[in-house]
């Protein structure tokens, strides 16, 4: 299903005057508006293929109607999102949840929608049908060489598929760890994981990166072999210049200072990218910005500061991806909300008066430092985000347009009610 130009135009025409009034108000008080709008236009967020259907919990799954039934339809959904908000120009695949039978066809389809392939994700946390070895006691850390070999080969196969699609990164998240004290020799598990990762690293093409994603807990609850940014950074440093840490916002113990982690990883040139989401407790995979929008802003504040200090390109030097799982919302609506929250946090971070903040820090003026940050956070920059979208050819209010046109109903007509998308 395609969004027609006349549908977009009618929507934008209707909202244009109101938008202009809000925009000029912001412009009056935000001196660097034009620069911010340009940066917002260049900024694209990768949509996870596994978040296009309703996920579930171990207590149940309530599948939504009109979910994508295959990879082609997932690409179609991301294409629709991108047509609406012009900020979702990439898709991140999960193998084997996504089956890429004909990569050149899939690549062409994505190109038609203006999409590129963000990092590929491997899966050695579940056993697949017909698989010889089981991952019950881990994959890259496993005590049995045959299991490690199978997991290594899977990752190399994912790289191969990614190359065919034009992706340039592999994200490895391992469920490896232990559930009970005494189950695992931590040092040996680390060493075996490192040896396995080295073999995967050796298979990376020259311009590729590997992202090592950490997570504090689940499904192993006593220890996780890549349990925090320290362990991930150890692996990344030992592997070499193509290896980086990936920060999933939901993978920390409660109250972790994620913005500080981000700042130090940038300093070490080892920050690879993000899985954006939000949480009240842990790996809740909720809509970005839905619980702790101030934290999201503070993370972007460190990103802008740290990337600018290193002369990095905001749009292309890190992997910006969402990792979400929706249980009760329409997945496309939820993803639109996440993208919007990320763009707002980015815009606000760009508007921080950096010189004044540096001075306040230098002079230990704690009150002034807080005022500067909260001035940016409490300024409503949504008109700038909307303007960036509008200039890029998107909708002033993507969510309202999605609802006004009853696009989910259209998808249900095409795909049916009883659809189950692959993923979480």
Q: Which partner in Mn ion, ligand LRH, none is near 50 (CB below 5 to 8 A by kind)?
A: ligand LRH
| Residue 215 sits in the site that holds ligand LRH (CB under 6 A) | yes
Q: Which partner in Mn ion, ligand LRH, none is near 276 (CB below 5 to 8 A by kind)?
A: none
Q: Which partner in ligand LRH, Mn ion, none is near 252 (CB below 5 to 8 A by kind)?
A: none
| Residue 73 sits in the site that holds Mn ion (CB under 5 A) | no
Residue 307 CA from chain centroid, whole number = 18
* Sign of the alpha-carbon dihedral angle for 244, 248, 251, 254: positive
Bridging pattern class, strands 90-92 and 177-178: unpaired
Beginning with the edge strand found earlier in the chain, give each strand of the sheet holding 120-121 in spatial order. Answer: 116-117, 90-92, 46-48, 319-322, 271-276, 243-248, 209-213, 169-173, 120-121
When the beta carbons of 117 and 402 are compared against ligand LRH, the nearer one is: 117
Instruction: Please give the Cα distance from 138 to 142 (Å, whole number).
Output: 5
| Residue 154 sits in the site that holds ligand LRH (CB under 6 A) | no
Instruction: Please give the Cα distance from 218 to 224 (Å, whole number).
Output: 8
Q: Which of 12, 44, 54, 121: binder of ligand LRH (CB under 6 A)?
A: 121
Helix axes 258-267, 293-309, angle to 10 degrees: 10
Residues 223-262 as x/- pattern, contact with Mn ion by CB under 5 A: -------------------------x--------------
When the beta carbons of 113 and 211 are compared against ligand LRH, the nearer one is: 211
When the beta carbons of 66 and 319 are compared against ligand LRH, the nearer one is: 319
When the beta carbons of 126 and 134 are compared against ligand LRH, the nearer one is: 126
Q: Which helix (H) or strand (E) holds 212?
A: strand 209-213
Q: How far is the CB of 323 from ligand LRH (least distance, A)?
A: 5
| Residue 275 sits in the site that holds ligand LRH (CB under 6 A) | yes
| Residue 424 sits in the site that holds ligand LRH (CB under 6 A) | yes
Task: Please check whether residue 80 is in contact with residue 1, taking contact to mean a CB–CB distance below 8 angstroms.
Answer: yes
Instruction: Please give the Cα distance from 208 to 347 (Å, whole number).
Output: 29
Q: Which of 23, 44, 50, 396: binder of ligand LRH (CB under 6 A)?
A: 50
Q: Which of 76, 77, 302, 323: binder of Mn ion (CB under 5 A)?
A: 323
Contact partners, residue 28, CB within 8 Å, separation at least 6 = none
When the beta carbons of 3 and 93 are compared against ligand LRH, the nearer one is: 93
Positions 237 through 256 that interact with ligand LRH (CB under 6 A):
248
| Residue 283 sits in the site that holds Mn ion (CB under 5 A) | yes
Task: Please check whether residue 322 is in contact with residue 339, taking contact to mean a CB–CB distance below 8 angstroms.
Answer: yes
Contact partners, residue 41, CB within 8 Å, separation at least 6 = 86, 388, 391, 392
Instruction: Please give the Cα distance from 168 to 118 (Å, whole number).
Output: 7
Q: Which of 73, 168, 213, 340: binder of ligand LRH (CB under 6 A)?
A: 213
When the beta carbons of 118 and 323 are compared against ligand LRH, the nearer one is: 323
- In the complex, the residues that contact ligand LRH under the rule CB under 6 A are 50, 121, 173, 213, 215, 248, 275, 283, 323, 424
- In the complex, the residues that contact Mn ion under the rule CB under 5 A are 248, 275, 283, 323
């Amino acid at each position: 299903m395609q969004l027609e130009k006349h549908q977009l135009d009618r929507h934008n025409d209707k909202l244009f005057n109101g938008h202009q009034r809000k925009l000029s108000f912001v412009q009056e008080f935000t001196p660097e508006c034009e620069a911010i709008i340009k940066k917002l236009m260049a900024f694209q967020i990768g949509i996870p293929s596994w978040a296009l259907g309703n996920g579930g919990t171990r207590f149940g799954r309530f599948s939504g109607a009109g979910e994508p039934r295959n990879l082609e339809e997932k690409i179609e959904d991301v294409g629709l999102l991108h047509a609406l908000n012009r900020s979702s120009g990439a898709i991140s695949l999960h193998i084997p949840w996504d089956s890429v039978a004909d990569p050149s066809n899939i690549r062409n389809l994505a190109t038609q929608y203006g999409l590129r392939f963000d990092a590929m994700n491997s899966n050695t946390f579940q056993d697949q049908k017909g698989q010889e070895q089981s991952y019950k006691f881990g994959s890259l850390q496993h005590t049995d060489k045959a299991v490690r070999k199978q997991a290594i080969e899977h990752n190399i196969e994912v790289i191969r598929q990614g190359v065919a699609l034009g992706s340039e990164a592999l994200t490895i998240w391992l469920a490896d760890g232990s559930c009970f004290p005494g189950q695992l020799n931590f040092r040996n598990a680390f060493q075996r994981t490192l040896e396995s990762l080295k073999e995967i690293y050796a298979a990376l093409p020259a311009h590729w990166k590997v992202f090592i994603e950490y997570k504090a807990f689940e499904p192993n609850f006593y220890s996780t072999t890549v349990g925090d940014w320290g362990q991930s950074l150890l692996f990344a440093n030992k592997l070499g210049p193509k290896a980086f840490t990936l920060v999933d916002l939901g993978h920390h113990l409660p109250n972790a200072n994620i913005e500080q982690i981000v700042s130090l990883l940038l300093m070490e040139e080892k920050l690879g990218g993000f899985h954006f989401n939000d949480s009240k407790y842990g790996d809740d995979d909720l809509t970005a910005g839905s619980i702790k929008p101030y934290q999201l802003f503070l993370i972007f504040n460190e990103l802008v500061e740290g990337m600018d200090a290193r002369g990095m390109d905001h749009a292309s030097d890190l992997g910006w991806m969402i990792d979400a799982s929706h249980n009760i919302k329409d997945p496309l609506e939820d993803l639109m909300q996440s993208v919007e929250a990320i763009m707002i946090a980015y815009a606000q971070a760009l508007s921080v008066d950096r010189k004044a903040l540096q001075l306040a820090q230098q002079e230990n003026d704690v009150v002034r430092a807080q005022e500067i940050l909260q001035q940016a956070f409490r300024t409503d920059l949504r008109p700038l985000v909307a303007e960036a979208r509008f200039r890029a050819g998107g909708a002033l209010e993507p969510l309202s347009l999605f609802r006004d046109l009853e696009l989910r109903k259209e998808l249900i007509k095409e795909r049916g009610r009883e659809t189950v998308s692959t993923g979480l």
